Chains A and B, each alone.
Chain A
Amino acid sequence: MKKNTLILILIVTAITILGGFLRFYKITQNPPSLTGDEISFAYSAYSILKTGKDEHGKFLPLTLEAVGDYKNPLPAYLMIPSIKMFGLTDFAVRLPNALLGTISIPIFFMFLLDIFKKKKIALLGSFFLSISAWHIFYSRFAYEGITAGLFILLGIWFFTKMLNGKIIWAILSSFFLTLTIYTAPAPRLFVPIFVTLALIVNLSKFKKNLKTNGVFIVTCIVLGLPMVYTTLFQGSGTRFNVVFISHDIEFSRYVLLKYFSSISDLPLLFFFWIKRYLSYFNPGFLFFNGLDATAPSPIGLGILYIFEIPLLIAGITSFIKNKIRFKELFFIWIFAGILPDSITNNQKHTGRLLYLFPVLIILTALGAIELYNLLTKVKKTHLKLAIASSFSIIVFLVLTHAFLIISADFPRDKGESFDEGLREAVYYVQVNRDKYKEIVFDPARGVAAPNIITNSFLYVLFYTKYDPLTYQAEQKITSMPGYESYYKFEKYTFRHIDWQKDQYEKGVLFIGSPWSLPEKDLKNGELLKKIYLTGGSVAFFIVSPK
């Protein structure tokens, strides 16, 4: 092995280790709790591992029925080996994503080396990815966008290689691109648009390699058909109907001034969508606070760091003016990539844009090289030194701020969004369950307002390692007169607590927020435990009437 290659491998390994450290360090403590989605995927994975069926009794499902939603199956299947190895633990749930997030770094390096044939760009790009707050943030919990991002990177990389004619790349590209539609909702729209446009702009190459491209298309169709089937006939499509932009609250309330109901409302919807689409280029979202990792603040964390502003501008200029292989694919990647999230009724979400990381990081890496070249042209050494040291200080300050946000502010401000407190509540229940005839969880929680959380039962299933076979088979009660939301299995009940009535229910353990269990109404000895959020507010009271 040549000395240069060895050095390159060592540098990439060092960058990957740094990226891995940032993704794995204290992974079970920050984010402070497993989210409802993580718990849902994890218990489905556990159930499939133990019984071959999900918790609803479906054998190797292609779509996972969750609370009011249908989830993509791949994140759950990816958790199975991890849960087999490490048991039903927080670490096992988060391991696959952190691992895939880390693996993305050397793969991205190889991708860049292959496309640009320049070590500098490949090294810089992989370094930017390893320290990207955006990528680190979502790698630290089981968020499907990381997996989708990696698979799309691989799919597009192999697609570029396929254009030269080898069938193996066609199969690999179609495999990874199709796999993403089983991973996250956004790629279901992005992948078909990308493939169609990419084939159109490469029509001449497509015609030259008809056999290879035919294999690509047929493989895509064959692998994608099950998802088309589940979307049309097994409920996966409900998500699209629910989240489509026409249901957007801002649109109904402030633009249309009524609910979207007819074709005559389409022109306003179109312009509302354009507004949404262009807002993805908002500097605040991109550089200052898009990540939503803290309580609302104009200065937080964005998709890119603030010091990357000049790099991105220079990178765009360099990208436009220089000859770059597959330039048109990068254009399609970024502009079609925004589309899926822009047509939903939710606020812009940095997680749903994760598969765009390669394009944005390529631009910043190109920009860094462009600016470095400019700096080398500065003749006065002291000026060169002043610019370099000022920029280094800015980078240091910005990275320190990012570190503080992720390690201090995020767990403090976002504990509630991560359902913090339920783990501790279930641990208490597990130790004391035999003392009570019934255990009641209230779905209302929240510091500012009582929000309804209907997936508490999944935390019970997960942290008590509830036997999936028993859960699949046993009788569950899903409604009860007088209750808006009611769910019961074994001795666990999930319903609203009305303390005026429930205070006389002896032998029952109640877990609820101060909204349902006002501290002033509790008698001496009734309050058994207080569970706090990292931010210091009370999440739950555990109470039993005397």
Chain B
Amino acid sequence: MFPHYIPQNLLFAELLHKMVYVEDAPYLLFPIFNPILIWLISKKIFKGFLALVPPLIFLISPWGWYLAIAHSFYIFMFFLTLIIVYTVILIRSGSTIPGNILLFLASLIAIYCSSFFLVFIPLALIILLNTKIISIKNIKTAVVLLVIFTLPLLFIINKEKANFKNEFSNEVKIFSDPSLLNSINRYQGAAAQIGLRNLSRISENKYLFFTEYSLLKYASQLAPETFFTPQYKLLGFSFSPPIFMGFAIPFIYGLYLALKKPDLRKLLFVSSILTVPSILANETVALNRLILFSPVIFILISYGLIILYKKRKNVLSRSFLILTLFLVMFQLIVTVSDIRTREGQRFAQYFGNKYEINEP
């Protein structure tokens, strides 16, 4: 018996008062499809067998496995996101027709499945167009088809406004935490006690705090501890890190190299839009949602690792390479042993013997 998330009804089904759960799908297929898609994407970045590095890192990382076993809704959305990312690369490299068809299909499914993606997909497309990563000419067909085929959904939404609002607020919970509003009230109360209420209203109001809180959440998504340590627990209980800590070394090196190149810097900045679903969650970081951003991390790790491998004659590069491999192997053994001996007990400590948990 494994812990699993309470199934999430798909958007269109919810609006039609039906029950359709993506969680009924054969979930272990996703850990197979997803690395294939990552490989297809990385083939456009790395040459030959080096393109296998990102999917391999994905496959040995606990992140995808934990979410697949728990039947996370976002593993399915990750699958669709990977297809969309792949189509963007296809379109950029000139394969416009298959690119448009795939972009349309994947986006449409995503929009029909999740209220959040109904907003997120158009937003992502606007950003891609604005930053000139793709041009409107190349995705015209997909956009037109998408608009036409989304109309029925918009029609149902118009009829089921309350239901949609409810569904949307289930996915976008960033400001639903009362502690933020409470702390604003507390701050203003304390300032009023010493006669500085007006000053407090200027610098301690909800607009500023919500902006600061969003900034905090955005920065937290990108902190190394999020990816390489169990700071934010997988499934809310595990001590397995999303990605093994040894990979932090090539990640930092890859990031450093990428930041030096203006084109890659821009791509990295734009790709951080994939952290938005996690930013909008209730938790500081929701690893199930942040997995949408994980390919960027896997590619950066691979980039660093490949350059370290190419420079292996240099003592420092060789040392880092050996240290990375040693740490990864060591943590892999420790994690497997820990999962076998303690994860069950750990789960029980957090959630008792009830194996159904809420998906953040």
CB atoms of B200 and A404 under 8 A apart = yes
CB atoms of B199 and A282 under 8 A apart = no
CB atoms of A306 and B212 under 8 A apart = yes
Most buried by B among A255, A283, A295, A400: A283
CB atoms of B213 and A299 under 8 A apart = yes
CB atoms of B346 and A257 under 8 A apart = yes
A320 with B199, Cβ < 8 A, contacts A306-B212, A306-B215, A409-B190 known: no
CB atoms of B203 and A284 under 8 A apart = no
Q: Is B183 an interface position by the 8 A CB rule?
A: yes
Q: Which of A275, A282, A288, A297 contacts B179 (CB 8 A)?
A: A297
Q: Is A67 an interface position by the 8 A CB rule?
A: no
Q: Is A528 an interface position by the 8 A CB rule?
A: no
CB neighbours of A295 from chain B (8 A): 183, 186
CB atoms of A299 and B212 under 8 A apart = yes
Q: Is B338 an interface position by the 8 A CB rule?
A: yes
CB atoms of A267 and B199 under 8 A apart = no
Q: Is A397 an interface position by the 8 A CB rule?
A: yes
CB neighbours of B196 from chain A (8 A): 404, 407-408
CB neighbours of B241 from chain A (8 A): 271, 275
CB neighbours of B212 from chain A (8 A): 288, 299, 306
A284 (CB) vs chain B CBs: closest residue: B216
A257 with B349, Cβ < 8 A, contacts A283-B219, A320-B256 known: yes
Q: Is B193 an interface position by the 8 A CB rule?
A: yes
Contacting A at CB under 8 A, from B205-261, are: 208-209, 212-213, 215-216, 219-220, 223-225, 228-231, 239, 241, 245, 248, 256, 259
CB atoms of A408 and B190 under 8 A apart = yes
What's the Cα separation between A257 and B346 when bound, in Å? Answer: 7
B230 (CB) vs chain A CBs: closest residue: A275
What's the Cα separation between A408 and B223 when bound, in Å? Answer: 32
Q: Is A525 an interface position by the 8 A CB rule?
A: no
CB neighbours of B199 from chain A (8 A): 400, 404
A272 (CB) vs chain B CBs: closest residue: B239
A300 (CB) vs chain B CBs: closest residue: B183
CB atoms of B203 and A404 under 8 A apart = yes
CB neighbours of A412 from chain B (8 A): 190, 193
Q: Please report whether the interface of chain A is mostly helix, strand, loop or mixed according to DSSP.
A: helix
Q: Is A279 an interface position by the 8 A CB rule?
A: yes
CB neighbours of B248 from chain A (8 A): 278
Number of interface residues of A (CB under 8 A): 39
CB neighbours of B141 from chain A (8 A): none
CB distance from A341 to the nearest CB of B (A): 15
CB atoms of B223 and A401 under 8 A apart = no
CB neighbours of B219 from chain A (8 A): 283-284, 287, 309
CB neighbours of A296 from chain B (8 A): 179
Q: Is A331 an interface position by the 8 A CB rule?
A: no
Q: Is B171 an interface position by the 8 A CB rule?
A: no
A276 (CB) vs chain B CBs: closest residue: B229
Q: Which of A255, A271, A281 contacts B331 (CB 8 A)?
A: A271
What's the Cα separation between A283 and B285 when bound, in Å? Answer: 12
CB atoms of A267 and B330 under 8 A apart = yes
Q: Is B345 an interface position by the 8 A CB rule?
A: yes
CB atoms of B190 and A275 under 8 A apart = no
Q: Is A10 an interface position by the 8 A CB rule?
A: no
CB atoms of A281 and B190 under 8 A apart = no
CB neighbours of A409 from chain B (8 A): 186-187, 190-191
Q: Is B180 an interface position by the 8 A CB rule?
A: yes
Q: Is A481 an interface position by the 8 A CB rule?
A: no
CB neighbours of A405 from chain B (8 A): 187
Number of interface residues of B (CB under 8 A): 45
B 153-190 to A, binary, CB cutoff 8 A, 1 in contact else 0: 00000000000000000000000000110010011001
Contacting A at CB under 8 A, from B103-132, are: none
CB neighbours of B193 from chain A (8 A): 408, 412
What's the Cα separation between A298 and B230 when bound, in Å? Answer: 20
CB distance from A282 to the nearest CB of B (A): 6
Q: Which of B194, B200, B216, B330 contacts A288 (CB 8 A)?
A: B216
CB atoms of A282 and B346 under 8 A apart = no
Q: Which of B187, B223, B228 contacts A283 (CB 8 A)?
A: B223
B350 (CB) vs chain A CBs: closest residue: A254
Q: Which of B180, B228, B256, B334 contacts A278 (CB 8 A)?
A: B228
CB atoms of B220 and A284 under 8 A apart = yes
A 250-266 to B, binary, CB cutoff 8 A, 1 in contact else 0: 00011111000000000
Q: Is A274 an interface position by the 8 A CB rule?
A: yes
B184 (CB) vs chain A CBs: closest residue: A299
What's the Cα separation between A290 and B284 when bound, in Å? Answer: 15
CB atoms of B209 and A274 under 8 A apart = no
Q: Which of A283, A317, A320, A408 contacts B220 (CB 8 A)?
A: A283
CB distance from B272 to the nearest CB of A (A): 14
Q: Is A8 an interface position by the 8 A CB rule?
A: no
CB neighbours of B180 from chain A (8 A): 297-299
CB distance from B66 to the nearest CB of A (A): 16
What's the Cα separation between A412 and B216 when bound, in Å? Answer: 25
What's the Cα separation between A256 and B334 when bound, in Å? Answer: 12
Q: Is A324 an interface position by the 8 A CB rule?
A: no
A275 with B216, Cβ < 8 A, contacts A298-B179, A299-B180 known: no
Most buried by A among B190, B194, B230, B256: B190
CB atoms of A274 and B220 under 8 A apart = no
What's the Cα separation between A318 and B64 when bound, in Å? Answer: 36
B 316-351 to A, binary, CB cutoff 8 A, 1 in contact else 0: 000000000000001100100010001001100100
CB atoms of B213 and A401 under 8 A apart = no
CB neighbours of B190 from chain A (8 A): 404, 408-409, 412-413
CB atoms of B231 and A297 under 8 A apart = no
CB neighbours of A397 from chain B (8 A): 202-203, 208
What's the Cα separation between A83 and B222 when bound, in Å? Answer: 49
Q: Is A268 an interface position by the 8 A CB rule?
A: yes
CB neighbours of B259 from chain A (8 A): 317
Contacting B at CB under 8 A, from A385-408, are: 397-398, 400-401, 404-405, 407-408
What's the Cα separation between A372 and B209 when bound, in Å? Answer: 27
A256 (CB) vs chain B CBs: closest residue: B342
What's the Cα separation between A413 and B256 when bound, in Å? Answer: 42
CB neighbours of A271 from chain B (8 A): 229, 239, 241, 245, 331, 334
CB atoms of B194 and A297 under 8 A apart = no
A279 with B231, Cβ < 8 A, contacts A297-B186, A298-B183, A408-B190 known: yes
CB distance from A320 to the nearest CB of B (A): 7
CB atoms of A278 and B187 under 8 A apart = no
B208 (CB) vs chain A CBs: closest residue: A397
What's the Cα separation between A400 and B231 when bound, in Å? Answer: 32
Q: List 16 A-B contacts (CB under 8 A).
A: A253-B349, A257-B342, A271-B229, A279-B225, A281-B224, A282-B225, A284-B220, A287-B219, A288-B212, A296-B179, A297-B186, A299-B213, A320-B256, A397-B208, A404-B200, A408-B196
Binding site for A on B (CB under 8 A): 179-180, 183, 186-187, 190-191, 193-194, 196, 199-200, 202-204, 208-209, 212-213, 215-216, 219-220, 223-225, 228-231, 239, 241, 245, 248, 256, 259, 284, 330-331, 334, 338, 342, 345-346, 349
A-B interface, 3 closest residue pairs, ranked by CB to CB distance from nearest: A283-B219, A297-B183, A275-B229
Other than the given A275-B229, A299-B183, 20 more pairs (CB < 8 A) read: A268-B239, A271-B245, A281-B225, A283-B219, A284-B219, A284-B220, A288-B212, A294-B187, A296-B179, A299-B216, A309-B215, A398-B203, A401-B208, A405-B187, A407-B194, A407-B196, A408-B193, A408-B196, A409-B187, A409-B191
